[in-house]
């Protein structure tokens, strides 16, 4: 990250007086989550979208001959977080990211079904359900374009995390990122679906790939073609953080700086505000969206633990396993 010579903090504050960094934050029983999106310093509108949803399954015994001590029925709670970054022009990009986010919200209740009552083969169940959500997003984008020809060609990235107990499932299409930040530092969970990343994987020097950093190889669009979705399973510990962000942050603030900000912040809200400010000070050339969750000491293992064994056994390092 860098600050232009003619820029000062006072200049930045004056310029952003009508566009403040407005962080939303909530502390739940087992997780603290904060989120913010900002237009940045260059874009006329904000084409990013985010959402945070709590899903709860509860049973209430209305009458029973059993003693009350035998009637415990613990609630099961899960949290969905997602970030989408629209492409295709000022109007259509905003519509694309909003359409993908709405589709995730509409399917949130069905997503909780395998969290609360999973199939025997958890890995296969996750893959099938993610494919279904991907098809729904593509369908909704295509329907929007059919109604309005000006929206044809719009597209969006999407990364989402579904947190349940001491585990999470992360999905990704495009270059919006998900990170795991813990005692061992920061780790990028997702892989950027860009030409630059493909070149890096092929051994091309970093300096030769920079021009292709924003050229996507995967995104949700209106063409109707199926989109492969990367899926990851994460085993979480107390104080682990899951960070979701658009490239308005990750393109301008290096991973080490992101990790340092999160480690030094008193809360997820403070971290979100500082991260957006860092991206603004580095130029703010794109929309900036950050969603950050911290696992609290009240986090409990989930009943799915037994089913995780088959996935966890494939883990080669760290806490992240690709499904």
Residue closest to 237 by CA, chosen among 312, 297, 152? 297
What is residue 190's predicted lDDT score, i.e. its pLDDT? Answer: 96
DSSP letter for each residue of 196-233: HHHHHHTT--GGGTGGGTT-BS--EESS------EEEE
Domain ranges of the chain: 9-56+75-322
Residue closest to 4 by CA, chosen among 285, 289, 286, 288? 285
Residue closest to 144 by CA, chosen among 88, 95, 94, 87? 95
Q: How far apart are the first and last CA of the chain?
A: 33
Residue 236 CA to residue 252 CA, distance in Å, equals 27
Residue 319 CA to residue 232 CA, distance in Å, equals 10
Low-confidence ranges of the chain (pLDDT < 50): 1-7, 14-15, 17, 114-120, 307-309, 311-318
CATH superfamily of 9-56+75-322: PPM-type phosphatase domain (3.60.40.10)
Residue 300 CA to residue 302 CA, distance in Å, equals 6
CB atoms closer than 10 angstroms to residue 1? 13
What is residue 314's predicted lDDT score, i.e. its pLDDT? Answer: 46
Question: pTM for the full model?
Answer: 0.85
Distances (CA, A) of 137 to 102, 148, 225, 265: 9, 17, 12, 35
Residue closest to 178 by CA, chosen among 112, 269, 255? 255
What is residue 114's predicted lDDT score, i.e. its pLDDT? Answer: 46
| CA torsion, ordered 127, 133, 134, 135, to nearest 10 deg | 110
Beta-strand pair 155-156/288-295: unpaired
What is residue 301's predicted lDDT score, i.e. its pLDDT? Answer: 66
What is residue 231's predicted lDDT score, i.e. its pLDDT? Answer: 92
């Amino acid at each position: 990250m860098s600050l232009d010579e003619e820029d000062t903090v006072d200049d930045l504050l004056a310029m952003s007086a009508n566009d403040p960094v407005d962080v939303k934050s909530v502390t739940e029983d087992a997780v603290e989550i904060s989120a913010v999106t900002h237009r940045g310093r260059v874009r006329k509108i904000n084409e990013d979208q985010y959402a945070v949803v709590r899903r709860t399954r509860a049973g209430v015994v209305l009458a029973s001959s059993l003693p009350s001590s035998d009637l415990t029925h613990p609630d099961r709670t899960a949290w969905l977080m997602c970030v989408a970054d629209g492409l295709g022009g000022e109007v259509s990009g905003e519509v694309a990211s909003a359409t993908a986010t709405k589709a995730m919200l509409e399917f949130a209740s069905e997503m909780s079904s395998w969290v609360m009552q999973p199939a025997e083969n958890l890995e296969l169940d996750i893959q099938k359900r993610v494919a279904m959500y991907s098809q729904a997003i593509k369908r909704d984008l295509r329907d929007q374009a059919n109604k309005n020809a000006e929206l044809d060609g719009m597209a969006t990235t999407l990364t989402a995390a579904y947190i349940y107990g001491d585990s999470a499932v992360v999905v990704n299409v495009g270059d919006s990122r998900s990170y795991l930040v813990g005692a061992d530092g920061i780790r990028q969970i997702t892989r950027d679906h860009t030409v630059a990343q493909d070149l890096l994987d092929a051994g091309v020097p970093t300096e030769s790939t920079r021009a292709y950093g924003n050229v996507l190889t995967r995104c949700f669009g209106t063409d109707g073609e199926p989109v492969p979705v990367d899926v990851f399973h994460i085993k979480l510990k107390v104080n682990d953080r899951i960070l979701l962000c658009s490239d308005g942050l990750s393109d301008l603030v290096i991973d080490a700086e992101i990790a340092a900000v999160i480690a030094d912040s008193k809360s997820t809200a403070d971290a979100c505000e500082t991260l957006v400010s860092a991206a603004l000070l580095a130029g703010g050339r794109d929309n900036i969206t950050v969603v950050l969750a911290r696992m609290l000491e009240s986090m409990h293992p989930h009943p799915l633990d037994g089913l995780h064994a088959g996935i966890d056994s494939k883990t080669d390092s760290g806490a992240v396993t690709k499904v």
